Amino acid sequence: MRHVLDSSSALAVVTLLFLSHSPAVFGDSRSESLVQRVARGDRDAILEAGNTGDKGFIPVLESTARPHYTGGPESIKGLSPQQAEALSNSVWRTVYDDPVAVNARMALAKLGMKDYLDEILLELTDPASSPVCKEREGHPQYGCYPIDLRNAAFHKLAYIKNRSTVRAIASFLSVTSEPDSTGSDVKYEPYAHLAMRTLAQIVDDPPQINLPDDSENFDARSKIWQQWWEQNKDKYP
């Protein structure tokens, strides 16, 4: 006989799982509250969990890092294969960019899970080949937007603050022109601008730039950062 956990019982199981992996926080009401918020899908709590550095959060985070959509009718009995496929396509939706799952993967990357960090780096260096875009193959009603993915990757890497990502981020310091957004009314910032902001939050010794962070001083700031990289790139293999 199968037993189905209700939502409160499932939350209790997840909480106990966390505590069993992290005895240091047992009895700490704040940490227990945090894991409960994580289990409920609180996006801010998920990022807080990543900031703790406590690997005991990993099992809880991984439970939401890769969501699976199971919508649609419980039974397709009586439908032909063609009808079943059409129905499946009609209820299909993207899940890889679910906001809760996105934050969970960010937190896992910050906690040292290399697979998740590598995925985010791919969103930066080759977004069209990332899982977010691959998921959409065969579903033309959902577009893949590499510029948006890359811009988001800069934001994610600024949160993760992993030195191993510095070289990949710095490769955009020389990309000072705006991304091609033909067919769109959106005007994007140059990748160099995002790279400078991101590196400033990661590297040990960012250059001292006494200039406003605005478009008028963009070229000057970009040159200073490029010079800094030439002088410091050996520190970041």
pLDDT digits (tens, 9 = 90+) for 124-178: 999 999 998 988 887 777 888 899 999 999 999 999 999 999 999 999 999 999 8
Is the domain of 57 the same as that of 145?
A: yes
Instruction: Write out pLDDT tens, residues 208-222.
Output: 887 777 777 889 999
**Kind and range of the H or E element at 200?**
helix 191-200
Please state the domain count of the chain. Answer: 2
User: Is 81 among the domain residues?
Assistant: no
By C-alpha distance, which of 78, 102, 157 is closest to 125? Answer: 157
Final residue of a domain: which of 153, 171, 204? 153
What pTM, to 2 d.p., does this model score? 0.78
Select the more confidently predicted residue: 202 or 186. Answer: 202
Final residue of a domain: which of 153, 176, 204? 153
User: Is 43 among the domain residues?
Assistant: yes
List the single range of 2-11, 31-40, 165-174 with lowest mean pLDDT. 2-11
Q: Which amino acid is at 138?
A: G
In the numeric block, which tokens belong to residue 184?
């769109």
Measured CA to CA, the distance from residue 111 to residue 49 in angstroms comes to 9
Instruction: Write out pLDDT tens, residues 54-109.
Output: 999 999 999 888 765 444 444 455 667 776 666 566 666 677 788 999 999 999 99
Is the domain of 36 the same as that of 144?
A: yes
Is the domain of 129 the same as that of 36?
A: yes
Is the domain of 117 the same as that of 221?
A: no
Is the domain of 200 the same as that of 104?
A: no
What is the extent of the structural domain holding 123? 10-67+93-153
Burial class (CB in 10 A: 0-12, 13-18, 19+), 148: middle
